[in-house]
A and B are shown apart, each in its own frame.
Chain A
Amino acid sequence: MFGTGLLKGLGVTLKHFTDTFTDDRRKEPSRYEGSIKLDDGRRIIDQPITQEGLLTIQYPEERRLLPERFRYIPMLLWDTEIGEDRCTACGICAKVCPPQCIWIVRDSDENGKPITRPAEFYIDVAVCMSCSFCAEFCPFDAIKMNHDYELAVYDRYPQLVYDKEELTVPLEYYAALWPTQFAEEQAHRAKEKEEELRRNEEKKRAAAAKAQAKAAGVAEAGDGAAKPKRSKEELDALKAQAAAKAAAKKEGGADAGAVETGNAEAPVAEDAEAAAKRARLEELKRKAAEKAAQRKKEGGA
């Protein structure tokens, strides 16, 4: 009979409708089952594959639990264990990056001899294709993929060219985001750690003997990026640059995502800069701890 197919189809939609409707009328709709409730009324939802009917995730109040391998924009790791950037400026990531959006300036000591530390490290986020090759091929586990996607900004330049500071996160943050991989890496590292540390010590001592200037840099490393020793002119120029950049950022209105928040204040003096950085690291740590707690909760549930 004409129209039966139509009615059958409408039956499907009706069923969909009633199912979702009754589900939504329940005190706790099924989509909230197994979700993690945060104190401020927000939720983290780990949507099971069996989820039917209403599966809306009401971002920003509710968020989806991201899988560990989620990748968005890379981040550089600050090894809190040894108080140093993990990156050695070897340049592999810049070489494998398909759109070539990483550029690195290798640091050098006052004699112009290159040292294994990046002086500058940029990623043009408006080019990065989130392919994660950099993270895959970095031999030092220094660059990993961040999960932070809240990066929208009002101005493209310079906000979307991330510099080293914006990219750097403490190791705990990474450990919280990528627990499994982190554990694997730690196990792998543990084997060589002793030796590596020893080698590091030696290197440091040798460096200290050679040039006291560098030793100062290492000592300072505890509360910020290991600042290379620079001439006064250079330093001034850099400061001016930083100030200009910060000002430009300010003009752009509110700043980028949560990770970048700490940077908005103009770091005019170096102290202020360091303080801002410290504040930012604290913030990141806090976030990391929160994330870790979430994961624990989820593991317990």
Chain B
Amino acid sequence: MESTMVTDFKDIKQEQMQEFLHDSIQVPDDLQSNVMVTTLDKVYNWSRKSSMWPLLFGLACCAIEMIATAASRYDLARFGMEVMRPSPRQSDLMIVSGTVTKKMAPAIVRIYNQMAEPRYVLAMGACATGGGPFKEGYSVVSGIDKYIPVDVYVPGCPPTPEALIYGLLKLHEKVERQSITTVPWYRKGANEAIPVPVLGPDIFDPRKVQIIKEQTLGAAAAAKGPAVSKARLQPQPMAEDAKARIRAAQAKYRAQKQPA
């Protein structure tokens, strides 16, 4: 049967890939301390940490200190990190340097999703770590770890270049402790994309839709909401005229697009 052949072949190929990628190096527990693997780990980690290319990603004030870190006085090139490029595809490290706003969060998550494993995230500064001085604000995400996993947090406002480098060294330490046999990114499903948050009346994480629904539509909301909506102004739906304006604009745009 032709078709099964093909699917078989696909499966075989996939299996081979799997093996090639990690099963072949999957060492039984008693061999974990095997010299081969540890040496391999060393080489693997050394090469990863010595050329950890950051994603050029300046968000706010902290970015200025990040630039200062890359400039002559502190010179990130000493760590093999001078290749700061704005493309996520070739980057290993995302330095989230500055305040993450709700409007920006979807973009950040999308960029994170585009980065290839192994990827690391360093939250630089109080803002990226936990909202910082602007935490109470209505359009600030209180810490990028709400959406993407963070490996190292560097507090400070702004962290001095030394503090940032210290954070990077911490990250190097973390990298050094990883073993090629246990790292998650050669496993199935490791590269799953993080759902991109959506800008609704307020930003919402698709992963949290259930909780949100319970609050907005559930019994709690019907009974005038306990903790959530008591003190807060009940927001209005979008104004009719705004809607009308948008509709008119859309119509205009469509009319323009279609040649008569």
Contacts and interface: CB of A to CB of B under 8 A. Distances in A.
Interface stretch (A51-59, A77-85, A205-213, A273-281): A51-59
A73 to B, nearest CB: 7
B124 to A, nearest CB: 9
B75 A160 contact: no
B154 A130 contact: no
A152 B167 contact: yes
Interface string B126-154: 10011111111000000101000011111
Counting contact residues on chain B (CB < 8 A from A), the size range is 35 or more
B174 A56 contact: no
Given A55-B73, A56-B72, A57-B74, A126 B143 contact: yes
Nearest to A148: B163
Contacts of A235: none
Contacts of A154: 151-153, 170, 174
B162 A58 contact: no
Contacts of B165: 59-60
B106 interface: no
Nearest to A130: B157
B162 A125 contact: no
A56 B126 CA distance: 26
B20 interface: no
B173 interface: yes
Nearest to B151: A154
Given A59-B162, A156-B143, A130 B156 contact: yes
A125 B155 contact: yes
B46 interface: no
B246 interface: no
B129 A160 contact: yes
Nearest to B165: A59
Interface string A158-184: 011000000000000000000000000
A154 B170 CA distance: 8
Contacts of A54: 72
B241 to A, nearest CB: 38
Nearest to B160: A149
Nearest to B159: A149
9 contacts: A57-B73, A127-B126, A127-B133, A128-B155, A151-B166, A154-B152, A154-B153, A159-B153, A160-B130
Interface of A: 54-60, 63-64, 72-73, 98-100, 124-130, 149-156, 159-160, 253-254, 257
- A-B CB proximity, top 6 nearest: A126-B130, A152-B167, A149-B163, A129-B133, A99-B133, A126-B129
